[in-house]
Structure 1
Amino acid sequence: MADIHIDEFYRDSAIALVQLFSVFPRRINLFVEDIAGPDEPDEFGLHSPRHMACFGALLWLEEEGLLRYVDTIRQEALDQAVLTHKAFVRLNTPAPLDLTSRLDLPEPGVPGPEDPLPPSVRQDRSTWVHVLRQSIRSGRSSTLTTAMQAAFFAPIGN
């Protein structure tokens, strides 16, 4: 049986980290609905299990030292969230070139013959954050799961 909740955890975590990376070092409010989609609380004001799982993933990222925040906004957002040094360094680190072929993504640092890229663009496309962005865009949970596991289980510099 597939552990769908783990796939959703990887997706939510990747989206949150990419959102924070794209505005780094600015602090932002990180809304659960922007990550997991719209949610209507029930007649008792309780959020759906999907919403709460995403909120839990955000809290876990903080507990593991990947992001910081000032406070929660009910169970709807993290107030003034920012990446930690640990997450920023990891997302900026070059990913192994063979990873993109295993993920069935275009190789980030290698231009095609019809699309020569300047060195600065090739460098930007070789990072873990680019791999995560491409994995999110692919829409395949297996690709995103593999990318997240590779990004956060590999030692820095690999």
Structure 2
Amino acid sequence: MADIHIEEFYRDSAIALVQLYSVFPRRINLFVEDIAGPDEPDEFGLHSPRHMACFGALLWLEEEGLLRYIDTIRQEALDQAVLTRNAFIRLSTPAPYDLVAALDLPEPGVPAPDDDSLPRSVRQDRSTWVHVLRQSIKGGHSPTLNRAMQAAFFAPAGN
């Protein structure tokens, strides 16, 4: 079992990337509370460790070239965030059927290459990494989301 902070990192990263993909190429303010949930700063104005971990994940995504932003809004949001070209391409890329078939997705994941029961446009949409991440987030099963994020962003490009 993975450490809880790594599971939260994968979940936060997946949610942020899917949010940005859903509005691409428009820039948006990416709020930590929309990803990690509500947070009440303590009497000194400091955020919870959970909030700060999510904020750190967003900053890390930028450092690794998956998103860009203009500025931070305190430690509460990224101002004018957008996916980078590499992240957009990765999320739009078809996921390998064999790899995704092994995931425990709540709904059918990537359609089989010879599945003619769906229109071609639907098959193409459901074969992308962003669809796999959406399904993994929806399923709420951390090991599935962890494996999906590892496969989507830590596998060599084109896989």
TM-score, structure 1 as length reference: 0.94
Write the distance in 1 (CA, Å) between the matches of 2:41 and 2:9.
Answer: 21
Measured on the aligned residues, the alpha-carbon RMSD in Å equals 1.6
> 1:24-73: CA deviations, max 9, x gaps?
00000000000000000000000000000000000000000000000000
Write the distance in 2 (CA, Å) between the matches of 1:23 and 1:82.
Answer: 9
Structure 2 residue aligned with 1:47: 47
Say whether the 8 Å CA contact 2:12–2:35 is kept in structure 1.
Answer: yes
Write the distance in 1 (CA, Å) between the matches of 2:2 and 2:97.
Answer: 28
Structure 2 residue aligned with 1:109: 111
Say whether the 8 Å CA contact 2:109–2:135 is kept in structure 1.
Answer: no
* Residue 159 of structure 2 corresponds to residue 155 of structure 1: no
Structure 1 residue aligned with 2:122: 121
Give the share of equivalent positions with the same residue, in percent: 84
* Cα deviation, residue 117, structure 1: 1.6
> 1:59-114: CA deviations, max 9, x gaps?
00000000000000000000000000010010011101012221122232249x9x
Structure 1 residue aligned with 2:75: 75
> 1:133-152: CA deviations, max 9, x gaps?
00000100000000000001
Q: List runs of 5+ in structure 2 lacking aligned partners.
A: none
Write the distance in 1 (CA, Å) between the matches of 2:117 and 2:101.
Answer: 19
1:26 alignment partner, SS class:
coil
Of residues 148-157 and 129-138 in structure 1, the stretch that sits farther from structure 2 once superposed is: 148-157
**Number of residue pairs matched by the alignment:** 156
AA partner of residue 122 (structure 2)? V
* Residue 89 of structure 2 corresponds to residue 84 of structure 1: no
Q: List runs of 5+ in structure 1 lacking aligned partners.
A: none
AA partner of residue 144 (structure 1)? L
TM-score, structure 2 as length reference: 0.94
2:7 alignment partner, SS class:
helix
* Cα deviation, residue 10, structure 1: 0.3
Of residues 148-157 and 12-21 in structure 1, the stretch that sits farther from structure 2 once superposed is: 148-157
* Cα deviation, residue 157, structure 1: 1.7
Say whether the 8 Å CA contact 1:27–1:82 is kept in structure 2.
Answer: yes
1:25 alignment partner, SS class:
coil
Write the distance in 2 (CA, Å) between the matches of 1:2 and 1:122.
Answer: 32
Structure 2 residue aligned with 1:137: 138
Write the distance in 2 (CA, Å) between the matches of 1:2 and 1:121.
Answer: 34
Say whether the 8 Å CA contact 1:32–1:76 is kept in structure 2.
Answer: yes
